[in-house]
Structure formats: structure tokens, C-alpha cells
Amino acid sequence: MTEQSNSNHEQAPEERLAPRPLARPSVDPAQAATFGRPRGVDGAFDRLYRPDAGNGNGIAQGMKLSPPPPASLTEAFGRPPGAEGVLLERPQDDNGVSAKAAEAQMWAAGSDPWRDPAAGAILAGPAVQTEPEETPPPRSQSAMLSLPEVLFGRRVRPRALALLGVVALLVGALGGLVGWWVADTGNSLTGEATISEAQAGKERPAGSIADIAKRVSPAVVSIEVKSGETGGVGSGVVIDPQGYILTNNHVVSLAVTDKTAVATAVFIDGTRAEAKVVGADPKTDLAVIKVNVPNPTVIQIGKSSDLEPGDAAIAVGSPLGLENTVTSGIVSALHRPVTAADSSGPPIIYDAIQTDAPINPGNSGGALVDSTGALIGINSSIRTDASAGGSGAGSIGIGFAIPSDTAIKVAKTLIKDGKVVHADIGINAASVAANTSEGAQAQNVAPNGPAANAGIKEGDIITKLGGRLVRNAAELTVAVRDHSPGEVVPVQLVREKRLLTVDVTLGSD
């Protein structure tokens, strides 16, 4: 009983699992005939090697073998000489027991499961043993490099380092002296700079606005009139080498009525010269002043009668006191009768050139020139729209200028006689209706006047004088002033729905 217990105790570590029972189902004869072994073959494979083969080497008759391997492969991968019957030895484990001996001990108690499928499975250790990783030895600390070794790759004597420092200081001092000398001789920050400049910043071909402004501006002056604490600023145009300047009457009216007022003309180069009033014509808003300036620049006079709507128009003057201002536009309309009230005299009426070149207070008396720089008008007034908000004193693109043909004719008369006499028809006219072009209705026909002597009666509507249509009262006035006193002109009128034409010999005002 004791021996049996000891025997069981010794076999306990070798735990075995019994194999599963084999299931051998019945075989279908038809499938066995198709998939079964050939006759005479009992195992899973036919026996190719039989010890009793007739050829003496254990190879069956008719068996074809592969050719022997090349000698080079046999030498490289074959067993070494003297080891033909030796099996490969496995390495020993940690206890000094070889793998072959351990394997023999494991299978000594029973059958070999690799050769006997019916043998039970044995629980054993892993087939591959992991080897512990080797820890690398710690790296030894090397000595730190000194500055000479870093710079020169080797140790340098202190005396050599000191000598090298002295040489570096001498080279730096020499470079500083050379730089100071170069800077002091011509390239210092406070010296003269050499800058490459273009010959012309902009192209200004002949006939451009810049070219016209350059030629016209010296002939346009700013006129300042002062009397005590009051005064005003306007513009003027030099029309004669003797110093005659053409301007508006309302620009110098203070100097005409107030003998203590002083008028000064300021040229583009800053020259200031006192001006004297030669003559003024309030009805056409023109005046001539004279300055004593040697060789003034004179403007070229053009012909306003050659203008057409759409022609270029350039205004030069001093709007709002800003001297030598240039604006450009076109001729918007011709023969535009303009009436301007003047508190100091009769109403101002003239046949104007309408332009959209911006004109503002201070442009009055300045030049309106064409695309050649020739004078075509004297800027006089603007139309404003106070209902749009603000003061209503700025330009809205509707400006008026006195035609140069009329202005030069009046200027010559003022220079010669100091005053101007205009033709007169001897009636006071009123427009038939506001903002219409039905004609001018005769009112207050002067007895024994030109109109009365021609048979014109009060209430007649004048529609044409000479070769010009009369659309309103202002146009009748400018049509009469186009002629000279004593000239006989035909007048077309409507009386009681009948069209009549009479000849009128114009008088003078």
C-alpha cells in the first residue's frame, strides 16, 4: 500500500490528457471505390523504399530520382567530414542539461506522441526560451575642451593668444581709421548725396493742359482790393505790354467808388504792383486797370465767334483766394444772355459763354482759354443751387464768361476814352412769360425814342432784331448792344396776332 502511494506520487508531475475517442463512420462503397487506396496499398502512402527491392539499394524498380546536387552546394551546405552520422546538437539550458537529454527524459515515461498519434499530450514548458537583454556599460565622461582647442584644434600657448589679440585690435583700429577718412572726405550723412534723377518726371506734350497752364498762368494775376477793414479778391488778365489788365467791374468796383481803396495786382512770381483803374463799364461788368511792371507776360487773344459747343475750355484764376488755380471743361453753350443784379448800378446784362469748367468766387475777371491757350472769355459769374443745401455759393458746373470779342472791344474803348457808349432802342422790355422763349414785350416806350419813331407801340412782342432771335427781355438787350449807335436794324414783332417788321435807327444810352 505504501509502495503504491509512492509510485503515484512520482508520476504526478507528468500530467497527460487522454486522446479524444476516434470517430470511425461507415464508408460508402461508391466513395471508397472512387477515393480509396489502390489495391495492394495498406498505408497512407505507397512504399517507395523497400529493403527487399530488387536493385540492392532499397529503391523500387522504375523509381526515378532527382539528379545529385552540384558539388559547390554540397560543399557549402553539407555536413563536415567525419560528421555524417551526427545529429545537430541543441544548446544547453540554464541548469547545464542539454536539450537532447531533456527531451529524452520527457518522453522516457511513455510513447512518443510525434510517432504515436494515440499517445496523450504532455504539458511542458515553452519551446523557445527568451534570453535576457544585455545592459550596455555606462559611457565614461570625457574631459571638456578648452577655448583654444575649439578654435584651433589644439592647445595654444597664452603668449600666442595674447599676440593674436593685439593683432586683431590693430586690424580693427586700422579699418576704423580708413572708414572715418572715407566718410569724412565725401560720404558722410551731412555731405552731398549723389542721386540719379530723371530728366523729365512727366511727359507734357504741346497742347496739353499742363502746357497751356504754363504759358497762360504768367499773364493771369490775382487782384486784391482793400479799403479799411473791407476788401475782396478777384482775378485779371494782362492784355497789353504797357501793363493794362482786363477784369470784371465788380472786382474793382470798390476802388471806383472809394478813392481811399487800394487795388494790388499779384503776379505768379510773387511780384506785387499797385493798380490804377483806367475805366469801368457796369452794364457789361468789365473794367481795365493798369500797373507799372516792366515786360509783363501778355495773353494771346482768340476769337470767341469761332467757338462751338463742345470745344475745350480752361479757366485760370484765383478762386476763393487760391492763386494760379487751373480747371478744365468744355464750352457748354454760346449766346447765353445773363442778367446779374448790381446794387451799385444798373443791371448787368451780357451775352455769355456757358462752360462746365469749375468756376467759383475769386475766378471773376480771370481767363477762359481754348485748347491753344488763346483768350476766349473773361470769367464773370456762376449759377448756383441754394435749394440743394449749404450756402449755394459753390460751382455746380454752370459758369458764364464774357466773350473775348465783346471784352476786347469794350477794353479798347475804355483804354481810349475811359467809358463806353452802348446802342439803345428806347424801350423797357419784359419777358412774355417766365422761363419761356416767346419774345420780349415792349413796355414804357420812350417818346421820340428810336422805337417810338419806328412805330413800335407798347404791348408789341419783339421776336427778332437784326439777324438774331429774341426769346426774352435779356436777349433783346444783348441783341441791341451787338450794334452801334445810329445803325439801322430791322425789328420783327407781333401785334394783335399779326407779324410786322419795322426798321429802327438805334440811339445811344
Q: Which residues are catalytic?
A: 250, 285, 364
CB burial of 52-90 (b: ≥16 within 10 Å; e: otherwise) equals eeeeeeeeeeeeeeeeeeeeeeeeeeeeeeeeeeeeeee
Distance, CA of 82 to CA of 339 (rounded, Å): 143
User: Locate cell 446784362: which residue?
Assistant: 349
Closest CA to 474 of 288, 315, 348: 348
Distance, CA of 161 to CA of 484 (rounded, Å): 111
Distance, CA of 345 to CA of 282 (rounded, Å): 7
Closest CA to 225 of 216, 217, 236: 236
Could you tell me if 305 and 294 are in contact, meaning their C-beta atoms sit under 8 angstroms apart? Answer: no
Furthest-apart CA atoms within the chain: distance in Å: 183
Distance, CA of 366 to CA of 197 (rounded, Å): 36
List the grid coordinates of 70. Answer: 552540384
E strand or H helix that includes residue 9: helix 2-11
Could you tell me if 399 and 358 are in contact, meaning their C-beta atoms sit under 8 angstroms apart? Answer: yes
E strand or H helix that includes residue 468: strand 468-469
Q: What is the CA radius of gyration of the chain?
A: 64
Q: Find residue 280's DSSP bridge partners.
A: 287
